[in-house]
Structure 1
C-alpha cells in the first residue's frame, strides 16, 4: 500500500496543508465584507463561486432573483461574484443619491469588462471611465440634441417606409404573418447604420446595396454569440486583474471579424466625408466628425472632442447598443398592442388625429402623442430590455445608513423595480393608463434607460425610431395575433440583453383603403 509520504515528503505535505488553510482563511476574510456591513445575502460557497453559479445555472431567472431577494432581504442586499462583494439597492432615495447627488463618487458603470473589448472598442463610451468618459460624453451629447434629431427624422422615416413595404409583401406572400424580431431587427439595423455609419443598407445603388448586404451580414455576426458560453467571461468575473493581460493581448469578447469590418468601414467613411464637397447630411457620424481632435489634444485633457479611434469605437457602439435593444423594445410593444386590441384602437385614433393636425410625422408630431408615450413607457416597464444597471463606488461612503465600501459595485435592479408590488398595481399586466401622469412615477423606480448623467445617450434617438415605426405601422395595418403567437405573458430570457424566450410571430391586416404602391 502506497503511503502519502511515498509521494511527497512530510515537509511538502505540511506546506500544502498550510497553503490550503491560508487560502481558506483568505477566502473566508473576503466573504466577511457583507456580514461586517450588516447587509443580508445568500451564503457564498466555493463550489458556487461565491453566489455566481446561480447566474449560470438559471439564465432565465436572473432578473427574477431580484424580486425574490427583495421580499426575502429588504431594500438592500448583497451577493458575491467570486470573492468580489456586490450590493443591490432597491431604495429609490438611495438610488437617487447614487445617480445624482453623489455622482462624482459613482461616475463609472463598472470596472469589469472595460478592458476586454479589443483595441477598437476599449475606447468606446461604455468602456471609458472618469474624466475620459466625461470628455467623450460631452462631445457626443450634441449629436443627440433635439435640433439634430429633428433633422434625422427623415432618415429614420425612410427606413420605416422600407419596413412597411416589407410588411405589405408579407400580406401577399404569407397572409400577413411575420417574424416580429426579425422584421424590427432589420429596421433597427437600417436606422442605426444610416445614422451612425451614413450607410443606406437598403439603397438601390448597386455599390451601396453590396455594402448594405455586408453590413447586415456582419451586424448579425456580432450578435451571433452567447456571452455566458465563453469560459473567459467567468475568469474575468472571478479575477478582474486578468483584464490587464487581455488588454495587452488585444483580446475582445466580441467576434473579431465584424468588429474589424466596421472599423475599416468607419475609416473609409471618415475619409470620404472629409473630402466630400457635397452638402453633408445631418447624422451621428457627421456630428462626431465635426468634433474630431488629435490624440495629443485628447491626452492633455483640455480639449473637447473625439479622436479618430474614439469615433470608430463609438460608431460601432451605436450599432451594438442600438440594434438589439431597439428591436426588442419594438417587439414587446407590438406584441402588447396585438394582444390588447382596445389599446391598439385608441392609439390608432390618436395617430390619425395627430396626422390631421400636423400633416406629417414630424419630430414635434411624434412627441405630441401622449397615449403613444404611455404605451411605450408601459411596455418598457413590463418588458424591460435591461435587467440591471450598475455603478462602481470610488470611495467609502455612507448613504442613508448604508455603508458602501470603495471598490464595490452597486446594482440597481431595473427589472425588479419595474415589477415591484410596492410601486405598481398588478405589475405583470399591460396597463398604459398607469403612465398617464409621469409626475407620479418615481424616475428611480422606472428607469428603462438608466438614470443620472450616465443614462443612455441614445435614448431620444431610440424613442424617435420606435414611435415612427409604430405610427407608420398602425397607419397602414392592424396588428393581430396568429396561430403561433405566444400566449401572454411573454416569457423573457437573458443573453446580451433581455429578449423573448421564444420567437414572436404576429399578423398584419391592411387597413381599408391602404394599397401598397411598390
Structure 2
C-alpha cells in the first residue's frame, strides 16, 4: 500500500512539474500572463460554456492594456494576444507572410467540411485557397449583393413595427439575429429563410442547434483542438450532425446553379472563382506540357 501511494505521489508531482514547465513559456520570455491552471491553461476562461469567450478576453485585455501583448495557454499551447495597434498592423499587413498558418486547430479529417475551411488550412493549402477566395471580396462584386440586403432590411423594419404595435417592447436581439440569418442565407446561398416572417423555420432550428453551447460540446472542442490524435483515435467526428443538413442543402443549390440558375449572390461568385481557378490550372498544365 505504501509503495502504491509513493508511486501515485511521484506521478502527481511529475505531472505538476511538467505542467508548470510548459506553462512557463511566456514568463521565460518576459511576456505577462495570468495564472494558468494545470494542463488546461486558460481554457476554463476562454472555452467556458457559462461565460462568453469575448467577455473573458475583454477582461484580460483591460488587465494588460498597458502592455503591447500578453500570453495565454490553450492547454499547453502558448497563444499570444496582441494589444498594440502598430504591432497588429505589422502582423496583418507588412509581415503578413510570416503569419499565414493559424495552427492545427482541428482534427484534419479528410471527409470533414470543417477541415476544408480556410481557417483550418495551413501553409501552401491556405495560400492556394485564399488566392481563390480573395477576388470574390472585391468592392464591385460585393455591391452585387446589396439589393437582397435592402429587401431584408425593409422586412426587418416592418417586423419590428408590427411587433411594436402589439407589445410595449421589442426583442431587438432576436430580431437582429433573424436579420443576420436571413441576410447570410440569401446573400451566401440564395435561400429564402424568412425567419423574420416565420416563427421558427427549419434553417434557423439547425443553425441554433449548431451554435448551441453545452458542456459536452465545449469538452469535445477542447479534445479536438488540443488532442486531435486522441480525438481521431476515439472515432469522434469533427463535423456535427447539423453539418450534414447544411451540406445536403448546399449540394442541392450548387447542382441548381450548375444547371444554369443564377442569383448574383456570393455562391455564384465562389463558383465563378472556382471555374476561373480550374481554367487557369488547366492552362498552366497544358503550357508545361
Q: Same fold (TM over 0.5)?
A: yes
Instruction: After TM superposition, give the deviation of residue 284 of structure 1 in Å.
Output: 0.8
Provide the residue aligned with 2:263 in structure 1. 281
Provide the residue aligned with 1:251 in structure 2. 237
Aligned residue for 1:98, secondary structure, equals helix
Provide the residue aligned with 2:255 in structure 1. 271
Give the Cα–Cα distance (whole angstroms) in 2 for the partners of residues 261 and 65 of structure 1: 37
Normalising to structure 2: TM-score of the pair?
0.78
Q: Pick from 44, 53, 56: which aligns with 2:44? A: 53
Provide the residue aligned with 1:222 in structure 2. 210
Residue-by-residue CA offset, 1:307-352 (whole Å, 9 max, x unaligned): xxxxxxxxxxxxxxxxxxxxxxxxxxxxxxxxxxxxxxxxxxxxxx
Provide the residue aligned with 1:4 in structure 2. 2
1:239 equivalent in alignment to 2:227:
yes
Residue-by-residue CA offset, 1:361-386 (whole Å, 9 max, x unaligned): xxxxxxxxxxxxxxxxxxxxxxxxxx
| Structure 2 residue ranges without an equivalent (≥5) | none
Q: Pick from 6, 22, 26: which aligns with 1:30? A: 22
Instruction: After TM superposition, give the deviation of residue 49 of structure 1 in Å.
Output: 3.3
Provide the residue aligned with 1:395 in structure 2. none
Question: Are the counterparts in 2 of residues 112 and 236 from structure 1 also a CA contact under 8 Å?
Answer: yes
Q: Pick from 60, 67, 70: which aligns with 1:65? A: 60
Instruction: After TM superposition, give the deviation of residue 197 of structure 1 in Å.
Output: 1.3
Give the Cα–Cα distance (whole angstroms) in 1 for the partners of residues 115 and 279 of structure 2: 19
Give the Cα–Cα distance (whole angstroms) in 2 for the partners of residues 17 and 168 of structure 1: 66
- Give matches, 1:312-323, under 5 Å: none
| Structure 1 residue ranges without an equivalent (≥5) | 204-208, 304-518
Q: Pick from 242, 253, 261: which aligns with 2:245? A: 261
* Residue 134 to residue 75, structure 1, CA distance change in 2 (3 Å): same
* Residue 129 to residue 238, structure 1, CA distance change in 2 (3 Å): closer
Provide the residue aligned with 1:124 in structure 2. 117
* Residue 57 to residue 290, structure 1, CA distance change in 2 (3 Å): closer
Provide the residue aligned with 1:162 in structure 2. 155
Give the Cα–Cα distance (whole angstroms) in 2 for the partners of residues 64 and 118 of structure 1: 38
- Give matches, 1:315-394, under 5 Å: none
Larger radius of gyration: 1
Between Structure 1 and Structure 2, how many residues are aligned? 278
Aligned Cα RMSD in Å? 3.8
Question: Are the counterparts in 2 of residues 116 and 243 from structure 1 also a CA contact under 8 Å?
Answer: no
Residue-by-residue CA offset, 1:419-462 (whole Å, 9 max, x unaligned): xxxxxxxxxxxxxxxxxxxxxxxxxxxxxxxxxxxxxxxxxxxx
Question: Are the counterparts in 2 of residues 236 and 243 from structure 1 also a CA contact under 8 Å?
Answer: yes
**Structure with the larger strand share:** 1
